Structure 1
């Protein structure tokens, strides 16, 4: 069975190591050091990881994040590359694949696309299908809740899905699964996409979710 999360973990670790600790990322306000600390905390400090999503715990998460960013960068990359510790929830069978395939793909692109490097590399077909299977839920939770217009997210082969408020103007976003995921997570300005729809609807969308 393919382990897409493991492959993306190794790719992300390589990108972090090559970029060094002070490179920019597409995570607003975060350097590669900040991102590496986040990744380590997420699977090694469950007490702090909860604050990523739960507002009242955000202060504790911020303090732990700051303490980890003070560690040697090489240590952070090594800890992330080595995978979750035995007692981590991500060590449960199937948990890493289910929870981290998208997480690591998006963060790898956060590093790869932040600078003026080469064009994005093609995603292996099997991994693209894995990302596509996860897109409907992510699109509803991320893009669908934020978009002021109806969104048709389409692949070049014609497959697609629709999210966003019914009865509003429709904007079609076309791209490969990984590119559509980046759009859903607010990275659309650096994604390879085509955008079609009424100009006022596209402009309204652009204020909420960046597009090329």
Structure 2
């Protein structure tokens, strides 16, 4: 169906809820296990598609990674996120963390991100960062630009750390942009920002890119509302017909 590349119903931490599902959490405290169990219950009752766009709260996020292929060993280096409600960015409601990494960084990654081996060696482990991130995003859908990259890395990280797939709904910005701006041909984040007159700051920094994406998301929300669409379900129905 036409909408599938743009909105991902990532269903994880699901099915069997016995101790084997949480075997990856051995050594972590019971509060972590309880939190993941509770998060599943909340996400199972997810009704984001029906919330008016003017009231919809989402967590816009970005990952910096060592490459593009988690299945080949590439890893997450940092996670940045910021929340929006309706067409407004919640500037004070943000999240950022480096992720522990004890190998040598690819030269291109160092040049793009400005990250160093020294600061990554002293960063918190991925399992802790993921739990903190999910706590921050709790109860909201996730939004990302070119979300397949983020989805693939979160899926791989969740399975490696917790032996459970990732459950959050992940929405690609293009899900809205196809309706908000049908003539949009640019793909790169900085090019789309230029189209809308958005100053590009802190590019290739996880929080910086999340903030840029959040501004775009809010523009798209405004545009689709002006065209008469009131919920994500309305957009979903439209995309299913294309």
Whichever structure has more strand as a proportion of its residues is 2
* TM-score above 0.5, yes or no: no
Compute the TM-score of the two structures, normalised by the length of structure 1: 0.28
More helix by share: 1
Higher relative contact order (CA 8 A, sep 6+): 2
